[in-house]
Amino acid sequence: MEAIIQSVNGFRLTMPEVIASTIILSFFVILWCRYKWNRRYFDKLAASLKGPPAYPIIGSALQFIGTPQKLMDSILKIIKDYSPGPFKIWLGPYLGIVIVKPEDVQIVLNSSKALQKDRFYKFIKNIFGEGLLTAPVDKWRIHRRLITPSFNSSLLSEFFPVFHEKNKILIKNLKSELNKTQSFDLWDYIAPTTLSLICQNAMGYNLDNQSQCGSEFEKAMIRASELDSLRVVKPWLYPNIMFSLYLKLKGDSNVFNNLYKLPLKMIREKKEAFEQKKIEKELSVIIDDTNKEKKHSKVFLDKLFELNEAGANFSDDDFRDEVVTMMIGGSETSAITLCFCLLLLAIYPDIQDKVYDEICDVLGDGDQTITIVDSYKLVYLDQVLMETLRLFPVLPILLRELQDDVKIDNIVLPKGSTCYICPLATHRDSLSYPNPNSFDPENFAPENIAKRHKYSFLGFSGGPRGCIGSKYAMLSMKVLVSTFLGNFSVHTDYTFDDIKLKLDLLLRSANGYPVTIRTRTRKSMKK
């Protein structure tokens, strides 16, 4: 019996202690073996793929330490080193497979097994809650089906009066920058305009007299994006308690509350108006339809209220989440694309002149406002916007968690793994685009589009969970750019290589969008 009693460095263990230690050690060995067994498919796949260095617990997180600009630099370097893939990235203990080839992208985005957003999307629920962008599949299916009719193509023409009103305000505000030698940042003018547009068109809420609320929302959105994106690449911030402590240390405890002030204000006021209309309708006397004025289609927020009346059972959080998602998706993304587009046109004056000539051909001379029919004739402008989205996709990475095995490119992606679909890499693949790092709107000439795989362009994502408002976005951007260039020429000292990128949740210019503007005299041309 005494032979079993152990002595280690002068310490003696009794028999019960030896038994307890053996049980505990065996328990951890069993847990480790179970862990490795459950991960055997991940480890087998990872062993067959190239990718950046990874370490226990933190994975490849060291690759992404630094400022948002350094983060973007790291992503671009990894894309350059390992494309066209597929290749692996470990974020913490989670395996991600980066998908670049259009053929593979199509399979994943259209697979019913890849509709679930990745676990990392829970980190941005501080911003979006469970709106269409982040909702789990079952909730997304219901909300998408209910909300989709709000973006019917036949309704797009009804947005034009608001486009004209808000763009007229934009032009008036921009005149303060006319003929100055010092550059200004396009963002300061474009972002408030796109936010005002989506608030009016989707919520029926006029933001013109609430500029302070809009400014607070915009600042909170940018800061919230920076904080949540940091969390994604820093495993030590994964636990909620650690993230909350980090917010307090940085003085950002109220940033998400500030973000919700404007959306909640809109919902509250519009709900009161909706309830009042219901009462008035119940009390009103039925009159002959022939005496009624032509009705306009209801805005997105009114339709949510109506759906709820009909039994959709949206909670208060559901209203907030869908409104915030709509506000950010309908304003922030468009503002970024518009700023990049106008900056590129300033860098390439020959292309700017070609866009302007097309605008003159379509709209003629004078102050004629653009119609929806006119917008469809602005073909080259459409190419310019698409090329802008190719070079600078607002969402450069999309994450999908596989609910079952998916086969691509002769490999099987196992259930539970994450697909990182990377539009930034797909858009800069030389097999699809001969000069992938050059600004060339001819990439989207019809004959060139016909030569490429459909999924070589992911400016609005793709598949069932693609952007619900892509047609609205393109239309609103074409109206704004055509109005802008009809009034001003845009100039810059920047070159294409001077554009440095940064990544929070969205892709942005690290140094803003510096330009100057000059008075434009519209050419006299017949329509």
In CATH, what number is assigned to the domain containing residue 254? 1.10.630.10
In a domain, 16, yes or no: no
Domain range holding 197? 39-519
Confidence class for position 292, pLDDT limits 50, 70, 90: very low
pLDDT at position 92 over 50: yes
Q: Is 172 exposed, middle or buried (0-12, 13-18, 19+ CB in 10 A)?
A: exposed
Q: Among candidates 385, 416, 340, which has minimal Cα distance to 479?
A: 385
Cα–Cα distance measured from residue 456 to residue 71, given in angstroms and rounded to the nearest whole number: 24
As a whole number, mean pLDDT of residues 2-21 equals: 61
Angle at CA 169, nearest 5°, toward 168 and 174? 100
Cα–Cα distance measured from residue 107 to residue 406, given in angstroms and rounded to the nearest whole number: 8
pLDDT digits (tens, 9 = 90+) for 456-490: 999 999 999 998 889 999 999 999 999 999 999 99
- Weakest-pLDDT range from 168-182, 252-266, 284-298, 381-395: 284-298
273 or 501, which is more confident? Answer: 501
DSSP string, 225-280: HHHHHHHHH-GGG-SHHHHHHHHHHHT-TTHHHHHHHHHHHHHHHHHHHHHHHHHH
In a domain, 235, yes or no: yes
Burial state string for 483-505 with b = 16 or more CB within 10 A and e = fewer than 16: bbbbbbbbbbebeeeebebbbbb
Cα–Cα distance measured from residue 408 to residue 411, given in angstroms and rounded to the nearest whole number: 5
Q: What is the mean pLDDT of the chain?
A: 86
In a domain, 2, yes or no: no
In a domain, 238, yes or no: yes
Cα–Cα distance measured from residue 201 to residue 141, given in angstroms and rounded to the nearest whole number: 24
Task: Report pLDDT for 296.
Answer: 55
- Quick one: what percent of the chain has pLDDT higher than 70? 90
As a whole number, mean pLDDT of residues 72-98 equals: 85
Burial state string for 325-355 with b = 16 or more CB within 10 A and e = fewer than 16: bbbbbbbbbbbbbbbbbbbbbbbbeebbebb
pLDDT digits (tens, 9 = 90+) for 225-263: 888 888 877 778 888 899 999 999 989 889 999 999 999
In a domain, 156, yes or no: yes
In a domain, 435, yes or no: yes
Does 86 sit behind a cis peptide bond, omega within 30 degrees of 0 on the bond before it? yes
Confidence class for position 286, pLDDT limits 50, 70, 90: very low
In a domain, 23, yes or no: no
pLDDT digits (tens, 9 = 90+) for 39-80: 677 778 778 889 888 887 778 877 877 777 888 888 888 888
Task: Report pLDDT for 64.
Answer: 79
Judge whether 439 and 391 are in contact, CB under 8 Å.
yes
Dihedral (CA of 397, 401, 406, 411) sign: positive
Phi/psi of residue 91, nearest 5 degrees = -110, 105
Cα–Cα distance measured from residue 94 to residue 152, given in angstroms and rounded to the nearest whole number: 39
Q: What is the DSSP letter of 122?
A: G
Cα–Cα distance measured from residue 186 to residue 486, given in angstroms and rounded to the nearest whole number: 16
As a whole number, mean pLDDT of residues 353-378 equals: 88
Cα–Cα distance measured from residue 453 to residue 432, given in angstroms and rounded to the nearest whole number: 8
As a whole number, mean pLDDT of residues 12-26 equals: 75
Binding residues for heme: 467
Task: Report pLDDT for 339.
Answer: 98
Confidence class for position 283, pLDDT limits 50, 70, 90: low
Binding residues: 467
How many domains are contained in the chain?
1
Dihedral (CA of 108, 109, 112, 117) sign: positive
Rg (CA), the chain: 27
Q: Among candidates 396, 512, 379, 375, which has minimal Cα distance to 459?
A: 396
Q: Which residues contact 180 (CB under 8 A, 6 or more apart)?
A: 516
Cα–Cα distance measured from residue 297 to residue 293, given in angstroms and rounded to the nearest whole number: 13
In a domain, 8, yes or no: no
